[in-house]
């Protein structure tokens, strides 16, 4: 869907190749997924993974906010 919107707004040749490729890839992926008829068992969700994801997200956000000061000396916040 997003590839179609990008193609509608950006009609230059590099954008057509880039987002057109994404569109073709997405269509092929969906068709291949529909042809595959295997049902894999779904594993149980674990709270450990949620805590890990939130902690990693907070750490990466902190690094992203503080990294300009570390690399260029400019403070953003």
pLDDT, tens digit (0-9, with 9 covering 90-100), for 5-48: 777 777 788 878 888 888 899 999 999 988 887 777 777 888 99
Query: What's the confidence (pLDDT) of residue 77?
Result: 60
The full length of the chain comes to 77
Query: What's the confidence (pLDDT) of residue 51?
Result: 94
Buried b / exposed e over 35-68, threshold 16 CB at 10 Å, is: eeeeeeeeeeeeeeeeeeeeeeeeeeeeeeeeee
| Cα–Cα distance for residue pair 63/54, rounded to 1 Å | 14
Query: What's the confidence (pLDDT) of residue 27?
Result: 92
Q: Which two tokens stand for residue 67?
A: 């990294």
pTM beyond 0.75: the answer is no
41 neighbors 25 (Cβ within 8 angstroms)? no
């Amino acid at each position: 869907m997003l590839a179609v919107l990008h193609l509608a707004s950006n009609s230059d040749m590099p954008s057509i190749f880039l987002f057109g490729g994404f569109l073709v890839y997405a269509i092929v992926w969906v068709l291949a997924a529909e042809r595959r008829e295997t049902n894999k068992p779904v594993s149980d969700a674990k709270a450990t993974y949620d805590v890990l994801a939130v902690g990693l997200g907070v750490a990466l956000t902190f690094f992203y906010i503080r990294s300009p000061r570390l690399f260029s000396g400019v403070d953003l916040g």
